[in-house]
Structure 1
Amino acid sequence: MSINIAQINLNPLQTKKTWAGAGQCDITKGVEVGRVTLFYSAGVATVTYQITNGDYALTETHLYIGNDMYPLQQRGQNTVPTVAPGQYPFQNGNLDKVLTDSYTVDSLSGHIYIIAHGVVCEINQVD
Structure 2
Amino acid sequence: MNLWVLFGLLSLLLGGIGAVLPLLPTTPFVLLAAWCFARSSPRLHAWLLNSRLFGPMIRRWDENHCISRNVRRLALFMVIGVGGSSVLFFVPAGWLQFAGGVLVAIGFISVWRLKVCPDC
State the TM-score, normalized to the length of structure 2. Answer: 0.23
- Decide which structure has greater helix share: 2
Higher relative contact order (Cα pairs below 8 Å, separated by 6+ residues): 1
State the TM-score, normalized to the length of structure 1. Answer: 0.22
- Decide which structure has greater strand share: 1
